[in-house]
Structure 1
C-alpha cells in the first residue's frame, strides 16, 4: 500500500482509540463540512482586513500551512521583527517548538520556553540564534491567531494521535513493515509517531537525503533521527546500539562530472552550516562525464536554440542525455 504521509496520518487518526482529531461520517470518512484543508482555495476559513480577522460563514476548522500562515496570519502576529523572515519563524515552530521529539511526551503539544532554549542550543538557524526569546514570543502569537480562526497545523494532528496512543490501542489493519521515503520532509515528532505505531526497529526503513530538504516545514538531519530511534527503541542502551547510517553513494541519475560539482557545493554547506546538514562521504556518478558549464545567453532565442532537442546533439555544449 503506497500512501503519502498526509493520507497515512489521517488513517491513523481514525484507527487510534479516543475521539478522532477530524470529525468523521458514519462511513469513517472525514466530514468535509467540518474542515478546510490547506490548498482548498475555494473555501478559506478566515477573512482578513484592516480591523483584524473574523471567522467566515463556514465555521469549520482551517488547516494552516506555510502559504496560509504567510498570507493570512503573519501580518496579524504581534511582535514580528523585520530581521526575521516568516519562513524562518514557521520552520522554527514546526521543526523545534512543535516538531521536536520531546514534544511527544509533553502535555501541551509544544516545548516550553525553557526547553526550547535548552534543547535547541546550537542546532538553531545561525541567522536567528540571538533571537530565541523573540521567536518564542512569535510562536505564542501564532498560536493565538490560529486559535482565533479555529485553525490547526500538521504538528497538532501528529501530537493528538500520539497522545491518544498513550491511552488507547491502535485498532487499524495490522502494519507489518514501513518503508518511509523522503524522510527529510518529516519532523521528528512525525517519525516518533510511526515508531510508536509500529514498535519494531527491524520493521521500519527510513530513506532520504538532507541535501533534498525542500519542505518549508522542517529542518532535518539523520543525526536527529538516530536520536529518535535510540530514545524510542533503546532508551537504556548505549548510543552505539543504533547502527551507523547506510549511505547510498552511487548516483545513477547524473554522470560523475555533475556529481563532483555538487559534491563541492555540499562540502561548502558542511563547512559553513555544520549543524544543518549530515556530513556524509562524497557521492560518485556511475558514468564518467564532463564538468558542467555555466552558460550565458543574452538572447532568449539563443538559449531556446541550444535546448532544441533536434539541434542539441550537434551543439558545442552538450545537454542532458547527449553528454553520455
Structure 2
C-alpha cells in the first residue's frame, strides 16, 4: 500500500466519522459501511452457489446473511421486551425518544440506530446521572454491559443475582459496585427499547432464537475458520456453533492481548467451555458423531517483530496478570527469531523536527523518510486531531483501533499516559517493581479498576 493510498484510506475514515446523520433517512443506520468486496455475496445462505466458496466474510456480513436467511426484520431486533418500558428515563410522562439534539415522538420515528460504542458515548452516556458519569469510565461501563448481556447465550441477559455471582477474578472491573452497573444496564436497555435502537448482541440473540427452531439450510458448510475471535462476544460464538452444528471442524484463532474492541471481554477459557458443551449436544442429537475434547495450542513465535519489542510487550502482560489475575488467558511468552533493542523513550515532541529526531537516531544515522512504513499511534480521535494539527500532512497518524492488523517498520506511540482516562492512577504499576515501590499507593480494585 502506497503512502497516497494510506492517506486516502484514513481520509475516508475521517469523513465517515465526521459526517452528519441524515434525519430523514428511513434506513437502519450502522456506523461502518460494509466492505465493497462483500457486495457480490448474497444476503442469504439459500442463494449461495459453489462460486462463492471458499467464502470470506466479516461477522457483520454473516449477521446480515443470517437475517436474510431467517427473514428477520432489522427494526424488531430490540430484545428487552420484558423490561418495563414504562420506566421514565427522562422524567417525562410522554413517551419520547432522544435523537441528536431533538426529541421525537416514537410513533413518527421510522428509523433506528445500530448502537456501537460511539453511538453509546454520544447519545446514551449523557443521560446517566452526573455522579455516574464522573465516577465511572464510559468505555468500561459499555464493555461491562456485554458481560451482563453476552456472557450466557441461554438467556437474554443475566439477572442481578447471577451478575453478582460471576467470578470477580475473571471480571474484576466493577466487582465492588455491580449493583450500580446493573442499574445503569437496565436504564440503557429501556432507553434503547424506547428509541427502537438495537446493538450487536440484540442482533445476535434475535438470530440465535430463530436458529434454535429452524435449521440454516443452504449449502453444507464443512469447515469454519474464525480469525481475530477476541473481538467477539461469547454469544456470537454460540450462534456460530449453532448454525454450523453439522460442520466437520471449527477453528478459532485470536489473542486476548489484542482485545481492544469496545464491548469485548474475551477469554479462551470461556470459549473452550462453550465448545465442549457444543460437542456434547451434537453427539446427543447425532449418534454417528463422536464427542471430541477441543484442542488448544499456542503460536508463540512472532515472525513480524524482534525480541526487544516482544520483551516489552510481555512485561505489559505480566503487569495485567499481577494486578488482574485470570482476567486474560495465561499464555506462554512470545519470542522472536532475532534479537533487537528495546523501544526508545522520547521526553519531548517538537512538531518542526520530529521526523528527523525520532526516525533518525544518532549523529551518523541515515534519515528515514516518514512515509507509509512509519506511523504515529495515539490513544483516541481527540489526540489524533491534536497531533495532525501539529505536524500537518507530514506523517501518518492513526488510533490504536485503526492501526490494528497493520504493519509498519517504525512506530511512535504518542502521549499514551497523558491521554489516558486513568490519569495519575498509572503510578500504581510502580508498586510491582521492588526498586520503585516505596511511597507508591497500594493497589485497590475499587480505585484502580480503570487500568
Residue pair 1:306, 1:315 contacting (<8 A) in 2 also: no
Are residue 232 (structure 1) and residue 232 (structure 2) matched?
no
Where does the alignment leave 5 or more consecutive residues of structure 1 unmatched? 25-44
CA distance in 2, matches of 1:227, 1:317: 52
Post-superposition Cα deviations, 1:225-284, rounded to whole Å, max 9, x if no partner, equal: 1111122223699xx963452110111111111111211121111211112211111111
Residue pair 1:97, 1:111 contacting (<8 A) in 2 also: yes
Task: Show the 5 A alignment for 1:26-175.
Answer: 46-49=98-101, 54-55=105-106, 59-77=110-128, 81=132, 82-94=134-146, 96-100=147-151, 102=152, 104-106=153-155, 109-126=156-173, 128-175=174-221
**Runs of 4+ residues over 6 Å off in structure 1:** 316-320
Residue pair 1:97, 1:116 contacting (<8 A) in 2 also: yes
Cα 1:213–1:317, aligned 2, differ >3 Å: closer, same or farther?
farther
**Number of matched pairs:** 290
Where does the alignment leave 5 or more consecutive residues of structure 2 unmatched? 1-54, 77-96, 284-290, 369-373, 375-407, 411-451
Residue pair 1:46, 1:54 contacting (<8 A) in 2 also: no
CA distance in 2, matches of 1:317, 1:282: 34
Q: Partner of 1:268: helix, strand, or coil?
A: helix
Cα 1:161–1:266, aligned 2, differ >3 Å: closer, same or farther?
same
What's the CA shift for 1:158? 0.5
Cα 1:230–1:57, aligned 2, differ >3 Å: closer, same or farther?
same
Are residue 302 (structure 1) and residue 353 (structure 2) matched?
yes
Q: Partner of 2:346: helix, strand, or coil?
A: coil
Q: Determine which structure has greater relative contact order: mean sequence separation of CA pairs < 8 Å that are 6+ residues apart, divided by chain length.
A: 1
TM-score normalized with structure 2 length: 0.58
Post-superposition Cα deviations, 1:156-200, rounded to whole Å, max 9, x if no partner, equal: 111011111111121233322111111000000001111111125
Post-superposition Cα deviations, 1:269-324, rounded to whole Å, max 9, x if no partner, equal: 12111122111111111222222221233533332114568x999528999759xx
Cα 1:135–1:23, aligned 2, differ >3 Å: closer, same or farther?
closer
Are residue 20 (structure 1) and residue 20 (structure 2) matched?
no
Identify the residue that residue 86 of structure 2 maps to in structure 1: none
Identify the residue that residue 194 of structure 1 maps to in structure 2: 240
The structure whose residues are more often helix, as a share, is 1
Cα 1:298–1:6, aligned 2, differ >3 Å: closer, same or farther?
closer
TM-score normalized with structure 1 length: 0.79
Identify the residue that residue 83 of structure 2 maps to in structure 1: none
Identify the residue that residue 58 of structure 2 maps to in structure 1: 4
- Root mean square deviation of aligned Cα: 3.2
